[in-house]
Structure formats: C-alpha cells, structure tokens
C-alpha cells in the first residue's frame, strides 16, 4: 500500500488492467509517447507498445467510434478524451451507438467500453478546460457515469468499469489529480459501481455531492464542527446507477439536505437528486431541499477571483449549511 495521488492511482489501475488482460488497450490524444497531457498514461507506451497505447488523431468521434466497434468485437478499449470539454464531437457515437447497442440488438451485442474524461474547473482552465459534462450523459439510459473523488475509489472504480460489460463514462476531476492523495492498495480490487460513500458522518444536515465538491464539503463540515454543527457528507461516486438508498437514509437521519455540484445550477445533475428527495423523502424533511452549484453563466471564467465567484467554495458551502441548520 502506497500513498498516491488520484492521477497515480488511475495510472496504476490502467497498468494492472493491461497486465492482466491482453484485450485492454488505450486510445486517445497524446496518450502514447507523451504519456497524456496530465501524465495519466505515463510509462504505459514504453511498457505495452504502440499497438496497445494508441495515439489517436484529433478526432473524438473516431476515438469513440473505433472503440465502440472494437469493444463489440471483444476488445476492452479505454478511450481517453483529453478534456471532457472536447467530448461533444463524440456525443452522437456515445449517445446513439454505445449507450443503445444492447437494447437495439435485443441483448445480443454489448459495448464494454470505458471513456475516461478529465473534467471540472477551479484550475484556471477557462472556457475550454473547465466544464462539467455529467448532466448531458447521466440523462441517457444505457450509459453508466461515475465520478470518483479519492485515489482509493478512482483505482477501484476504474477496474470495475473495465470489467463492466457496458459503456462507462469515467469522469476524473482535474483539480483532484494531484491535490488529493490517499493510501491505495497495491493489488487489484474494485468498488461496485452504484454505491455511494459516506465521506463524513453527521447528524444535523446532509450534503449530497460528488467530485471535487466532496472535498470542499468535508472542509466546510470541519469548519462547522467547531460551531457544534454536525454535517454528513455523502459522496455519490456513481452518478448512474444512483444509490438512492444511501441518499434517503441520510435524509431520514438529518432531515435537512444540501445538494452540491460544481456544474451550473439550472438543470444540473443535482436537480435529479433534489427531485428524488422531494418525492421519496418528503415525510422526513425538516427544511426545503437546498441546491448550491455553479453560476448560470455561459462558461467558467479564467480570472481567479471570477472563477472563485463561479464555484461553490468551502465558505459558501458553510454559509448555506448554517442557514439550513437555522431554518
């Protein structure tokens, strides 16, 4: 067991998956000789060669389209989208082909494909390198969407995603890459897709979140603990399928809920969480379900103060939680 950051945990998972299974290969922009723009695939080209770590042209629809075909023919492709912001040229391939193949072929074909996509902001990435894209994809039945936020979960869930017989969109928060460290077992292990994690137990108010916001929520919870406010943080980890039971159990326990996400507020993934709580947890609520999310503006700004203004921050989260507790 070693202390790794999230990026290193993913690199280790890729390495182990490729070593274990000849069918596993990586395709993406700059993933080969360069080792990826974030160095996630560092060392893999040298170890496994250019037939298993493939540098693709700058054409996301080809990266995904060819991977769908290979997956249907028995390979286990791991396609990297260099930044999640660039996934849209492949949107049609993912939505109309990968997600629907099992249904369309009456369960005779499957697409065991993993799409890795670094997403999220707070890293001065501005318009083209900061987006959260989960809401577009979580909407589509047939596609799994996961967003682990710790090195332990990232390794485990990537290995689970590679084992999964269906397409999985694997979202990696860029700010977590080097910032978040943790102990990661050396061996091959998995965390089942579809299970949430209680990042911190509490009794006064719940935060339902995922990605980098898990860490901000825990930070806010630590601030509030000094004020004698006990905050529970639920890290969803898997957005589709969703662990409703863990959410509702937390609602039942605290009766006050903040749904927190980094994407802009309107129509965001957290809106679905709020709707589920309103419908199935109504009788346990002691305050209106609150949402805290990014601003509804066209993109995340570049300048640091404005980026901060866009994003939910630990102090903004703490303020919202205080209001909820005092309701």
Catalytic residues: 129
Would you give the binding string for other proteins spanning residues 272-291, x where CB under 8 A is met? --------xxxxxxxx----
Taking the least distance from each CB to other proteins, the nearer of 165 and 288 is 288
Backbone angles phi, psi at 8, to 5 degrees: -70, -35
Least Cβ distance, residue 255 to other proteins (angstroms): 5
Residues 141-180 that bind other proteins (CB under 8 A): none
Is 326 a binding residue for other proteins by CB under 8 A? The answer is yes
Cβ atoms of 207 and 258 within 8 Å: the answer is yes
CA angle 165, 101, 96 (to 5 degrees): 120
Cβ atoms of 171 and 119 within 8 Å: the answer is yes
Instruction: Name every residue whose Cβ is closer than 8 Å to that of residue 86 and which is 6 or more positions away in sequence.
Output: 60, 128
Helices and strands of the chain, counted as H and E runs? 13, 14
Least Cβ distance, residue 283 to other proteins (angstroms): 5
Is 195 a binding residue for other proteins by CB under 8 A? The answer is no
- Residues in binding contact with other proteins, number by CB under 8 A: 17
| Sign of the torsion angle spanned by Cα atoms 290, 293, 298, 304 | positive
Least Cβ distance, residue 232 to other proteins (angstroms): 14
Taking the least distance from each CB to other proteins, the nearer of 39 and 244 is 244
Cβ atoms of 205 and 229 within 8 Å: the answer is yes
Cβ atoms of 210 and 154 within 8 Å: the answer is no
For residue 158, which of 143, 147, 142 has the smallest C-alpha distance?
Answer: 147
HSE (CB half, 13 Å, CA atoms) of 205?
29
Tokens 């998956």 locate to 17
Taking the least distance from each CB to other proteins, the nearer of 104 and 252 is 252
3-state secondary structure of 201: coil
Least Cβ distance, residue 251 to other proteins (angstroms): 8
Least Cβ distance, residue 213 to other proteins (angstroms): 25
Residues 204-223 that bind other proteins (CB under 8 A): 204
Least Cβ distance, residue 313 to other proteins (angstroms): 25
Is 186 a binding residue for other proteins by CB under 8 A? The answer is no
- Residues facing 200 on adjacent strands: 233
Residues 68-97 that bind other proteins (CB under 8 A): none
Taking the least distance from each CB to other proteins, the nearer of 55 and 204 is 204
Would you give the binding string for other proteins spanning residues 226-265, x where CB under 8 A is met? ------------------xx--xx--x--x----------
Write out the H or E segment, with its range, that includes residue 248. Answer: helix 244-254
Taking the least distance from each CB to other proteins, the nearer of 3 and 286 is 286
Taking the least distance from each CB to other proteins, the nearer of 62 and 287 is 287
DSSP state of 29: T
Residues that bind other proteins (CB under 8 A): 204, 244-245, 248-249, 252, 255, 280-287, 326-327
């Amino acid at each position: 067991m070693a202390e790794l950051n999230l990026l290193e945990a993913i690199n280790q998972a890729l390495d182990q998956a490729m070593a274990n299974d000849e069918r596993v290969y990586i395709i993406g922009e700059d993933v080969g000789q360069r080792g990826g723009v974030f160095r996630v695939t560092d060392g893999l080209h040298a170890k496994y060669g250019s037939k298993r770590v493939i540098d693709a042209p700058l054409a996301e629809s080809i990266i995904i389209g060819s991977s769908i075909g290979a997956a249907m023919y028995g390979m286990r492709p791991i396609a990297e989208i260099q930044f999640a912001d660039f996934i849209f040229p492949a949107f049609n391939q993912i939505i109309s082909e990968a997600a629907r193949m099992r249904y369309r072929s009456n369960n005779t074909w499957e697409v065991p494909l993993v799409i890795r996509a670094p997403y999220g902001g707070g890293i001065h990435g501005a318009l083209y390198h900061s987006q959260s894209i989960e809401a577009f994809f979580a909407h589509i039945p047939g596609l799994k969407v996961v967003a682990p936020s710790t090195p332990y979960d990232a390794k485990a869930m990537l290995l689970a995603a590679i084992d999964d017989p269906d397409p999985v969109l694997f979202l990696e928060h860029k700010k977590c890459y080097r910032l978040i460290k943790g102990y990661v077992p050396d061996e091959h292990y998995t965390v089942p897709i579809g299970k949430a994690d209680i990042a911190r137990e509490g009794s006064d108010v719940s935060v339902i979140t995922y990605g980098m916001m898990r860490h901000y929520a825990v930070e806010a919870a630590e601030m509030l603990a000094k004020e004698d406010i006990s905050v529970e943080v639920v890290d969803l980890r898997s957005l589709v399928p969703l662990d409703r039971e863990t959410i509702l159990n937390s609602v039942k326990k605290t009766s006050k809920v903040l749904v927190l996400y980094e994407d802009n507020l309107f129509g965001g993934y957290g809106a679905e969480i709020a709707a589920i709580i309103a419908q199935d947890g109504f009788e346990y609520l002691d305050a209106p379900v609150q949402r805290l999310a990014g601003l509804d503006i066209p993109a995340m700004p570049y300048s640091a103060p404005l980026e901060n203004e866009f994003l939910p921050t630990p102090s903004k989260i703490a303020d919202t939680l205080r209001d909820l507790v005092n309701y």
